[in-house]
A = this chain, B = another copy of it.
Amino acid sequence: MPPDLQSIVDEIVAAMATEEARGKVATYIPGLATVSPAHFGMAVVSADGSVALGGDAELPFSTQSVSKVFALTMALGKVGDQLWARVGREPSGNAFNSIVQLEAEQGIPRNPFINAGAIVVADVNLAGHQPREAIGELLRFIRFLADDEDIHVDEVIARSETETGFRNIALANYMRAFGNIHHPVERVTGVYFHQCAIAMSCLQLARAGRYLMLDGLLPDAGRVISARRARRINALMLTCGHYDASGDFAFRIGMPGKSGVGGGILAVVPGKASIAVWSPGLNASGNSQLGTKALEHFARLTGWSVFSSRD
């Protein structure tokens, strides 16, 4: 008998409401710093299409790095496996390594989910486009995946990233010095900052992630990507989706997932569910404190894990 997902979501929402340690809201992007840590939302879309919602599940938040999943999917659609000549597929070790490794590995970022890798992905998506068009195309793709035309870029956030994103601009210039960024840096980071500023609710995000639980298919719209590519994106989310806490997330939760500093996490159980959680307070690793905890509850209550034989 399948688990009663709405009851599970309700139980989790209730548990999260009483949590006192809610993490710290990211402050380095001005537009994010004002969000209240009191928020918690959760949405689960099952393989059969049923939906369970809880808390602030329909309130939009800044997806930040979660959007890297969709940008990667789009870039793979454009250049296929040629992407892997410019971006690796290995976890990055710890935080401070990213830039060491960029140097040691000649401007090739370790994976598409660290900032440097996502900037290369943005460079790929920019090919033949103006920045505005590239962002438009990504937005249309996400709207299509979520079947929701309301998804948009939060321009205030986008601008505040542009003003303070010196570190990302540094990474882009650094990779350009190695020839691994092909367009002018300000255009590439323009795409990147707008992509990070895409706002979505948990419901929209869980819907947008359905193709990853369904081996690349969308129920009504048909095949988005091949089953093999869906598996591979899931693999990358599992090994690289949570910065230097990716191993711990796999260990404790056992689902492919991608987090963002806005406090959102998209998690996928192939064949079972696409799950989105959101709570703005971050833990020491930069992942949503309550979001991670909620997913750990969810994994325990459903028994779902890619590392288990249960069906």
A111 B247 Cβ-Cβ under 8 A: yes
Binds B, one of A62-70, A168-176, A287-295: A168-176
B272 A309 Cβ-Cβ under 8 A: yes
A91 B93 Cβ-Cβ under 8 A: yes
**Which range contains the number of A residues in contact with the other chain?**
35 or more
Residue from B111, B167, B270, B272 in contact with A177 in the complex, judged by beta carbons closer than 8 Å:
B167
B251 A236 Cβ-Cβ under 8 A: yes
- Supposing A104-B94, A251-B89 touch, asked if A239 and B231 sit within 8 A by C-beta, the answer is no
A244 B90 Cβ-Cβ under 8 A: yes
- Supposing A93-B92, A309-B270 touch, asked if A239 and B232 sit within 8 A by C-beta, the answer is no
A88 at the interface (CB under 8 A from B): yes
Q: Which residues of B contact A232 (CB under 8 A)?
A: 251-252, 254, 307
- Supposing A167-B177, A250-B235, A250-B239 touch, asked if A214 and B90 sit within 8 A by C-beta, the answer is no
Chain A 276-311: CB-based contact to B (< 8 A → 1; otherwise 0): 000000000000000000000000000001111111
Q: Which residues of B contact A240 (CB under 8 A)?
A: 247
Shortest Cβ gap from A176 to chain B (Å) = 4
The docked-state distance in angstroms from the alpha carbon of A245 to that of B239 is 11
A93 B101 Cβ-Cβ under 8 A: yes
From residue 24 to 40 of chain A, which have CB atoms closer than 8 A to chain B? none
- Supposing A111-B247, A166-B177, A247-B111 touch, asked if A307 and B93 sit within 8 A by C-beta, the answer is no
The docked-state distance in angstroms from the alpha carbon of A129 to that of B38 is 47
From residue 132 to 176 of chain A, which have CB atoms closer than 8 A to chain B? 166-167, 169-174, 176
The docked-state distance in angstroms from the alpha carbon of A99 to that of B270 is 37
B88 A97 Cβ-Cβ under 8 A: no
CB nearest to A269 among chain B residues: B309
| Other contacts beyond A93-B110, A99-B100, A100-B103: 6, CB < 8 A | A90-B248, A94-B105, A232-B252, A235-B254, A238-B238, A306-B307
